[in-house]
Amino acid sequence: MAETDEATDRLPPTRAFVNARAIESNTRALRSVSQAANLMAVVKADAYGHGAVAAALAALQGGATWIGTYSIEEALPLRRSGITAPILAFRPALPGEGELFARHRVVPTITSRDVAQELNRAAAGTRLAYHIKVDTGMHRSGVAPSEVFPLVETLGGCPNLVFQGLYTHFSSADEGTVEPTKSQFRTLMDVLSTLRSAGFDPELVHAANSAAILDFPETHGSMVRAGIALYGYHPSDRVRHRVGLVPALRVASRLIRTHWLRPGDPVGYGAEFHSPDRRLIGLVPIGYGHGMPRSLGNGAGSLLFRGHPVPIIGRVSMDQVTVDLAATPDARAGEDVVWIGTLGNAEQTAEDVAAAAGTISYEILTRISARVPRIVVHGPNEMNGV
């Protein structure tokens, strides 16, 4: 829940509205096309900037059965908020984390025998499930295919640990190509076959991310993992199959000043913009300190005002940007402005912003800083608050 400013007892003018109903709806849409019995809602990086607790609750309401975080640190606030659903931490468990995993019943990813022994000691008197990530070709983290069986065999000597899951991560499911994803999945299935032939049969096998949920149903296994799609965005424009996803985030602000420039007047650091004529400009309290890419300055990016885009002029500053209001000479301080979302009949999505900034929607969403309060709402009509 957003905190108010102690001095003014109100929220700052720039804030983000998170539509829990949209996340719930997106979860249902993904479940409808998934062949897996389980869907994991990935809420790492504060649920891609949407707020992890609110997003997890909404996804569970929509049919998610698991929660995924990057680390044990990201899992703890979920447990403290009362969420009891199983949580998997993707980052391999590290030395010194065993007691936290065991006490909070968070499922670790194990890649090391030493850490496994620590987890086994921490889980004494209980049974702690674990998953193993297989490096099927992305070469970031995980266990080499040839080393999975020896590791699982060794962990069989840890009586307090239960081998519950085997998984991998696809490098190219959203690239419009087929063979890299199929090759990775074949490698995972080969590892699984070796394990099963030796009597090890994990309950959960998962590989499909948002792109593979849509384009590679043969990889769904017993669980799929939804990330960016939960929040209303398809992973890329190369994903072939589409479902009705609803963007769940709206970032709004206000004009806090309007004033007239004379011909030749400069704007912002470096004086990179000079007014070509007498025109009205507006100041909006959002900048790179809020998460707006600095590359959106000098006309590369825009904000929505009165139902149409207005260009950002000059550089993006840490705390504010200036917009060109030449088309609306009667604009006044206090009027609404939107960076991401809708205003009137106009819409600017995180994908639109990403295209202007030369990046991807994931980065735009996750870089929105903590100084932008998240306000959880429960329907599209509530998204237009300021």
Per-residue pLDDT tens for 8-57? 457 899 999 999 999 999 999 999 999 899 999 999 999 999 999 999 99
Question: Does residue 182 have an active-site annotation?
Answer: no
pLDDT mean across residues, the chain: 95
Residue 217: CB atoms within 10 A of its CB come to 15
Q: Sign of the CA dihedral 235, 240, 241, 243? A: positive
Q: Sign of the CA dihedral 73, 74, 78, 84? A: negative
The pLDDT of residue 332 is 97
pLDDT band at 383 (very low <50, low <70, confident <90, very high): low
**Closest residue by Cα to residue 48 from 271, 248, 266:** 248
User: What SS3 string covers 295-316?
Assistant: HHCCCCCEEEECCEEEEEECCC
Q: What is d(CA 173, CA 351) in angstroms, rounded to the nearest whole number?
A: 18
* Residue 136 pLDDT > 50: yes
Query: Which residue in this structure is represented by tokens 């300021």?
Result: 386
Average pLDDT for 91-96: 95
* Residue 118 pLDDT > 80: yes
Average pLDDT for 245-273: 97
Q: What is d(CA 324, CA 319) in angstroms, rounded to the nearest whole number?
A: 17
Question: Does residue 44 have an active-site annotation?
Answer: yes
The pLDDT of residue 11 is 85
Average pLDDT for 149-162: 96
Amino acid at 59: A
The pLDDT of residue 385 is 55
Q: Which of 133, 269, 288, 362 is catalytic?
A: 269
Q: What is d(CA 5, CA 366) in angstroms, rounded to the nearest whole number?
A: 23
Rg for the chain, CA atoms, rounded = 24
Average pLDDT for 146-153: 97
Amino acid at 376: V
**Under a CB-based contact definition with an 8 Å cutoff, are residues 145 and 183 in contact?**
no
Q: What is d(CA 241, CA 31) in angstroms, rounded to the nearest whole number?
A: 14
Q: What is d(CA 172, CA 211) in angstroms, rounded to the nearest whole number?
A: 9
* Residue 7 pLDDT > 50: no
* Residue 4 pLDDT > 50: no
The pLDDT of residue 325 is 98
Tokens of 327: 């088309």
Q: Are strands 308-313 and 302-305 parallel, antiparallel or unpaired?
A: antiparallel
**Domains parsed from the chain with CATH numbers:** 34-231 (3.20.20.10), 249-384 (2.40.37.10)
Q: Which of 44, 133, 167, 233 is catalytic?
A: 44
* Residue 2 pLDDT > 70: no
Using a pLDDT cut of 70, give the percent of the chain over it: 96
Q: Say what the pTM is.
A: 0.94
- Which three-class secondary structure state does DSSP give residue 36? coil
* Residue 5 pLDDT > 50: no
Specify the higher pLDDT residue, 8 or 348: 348
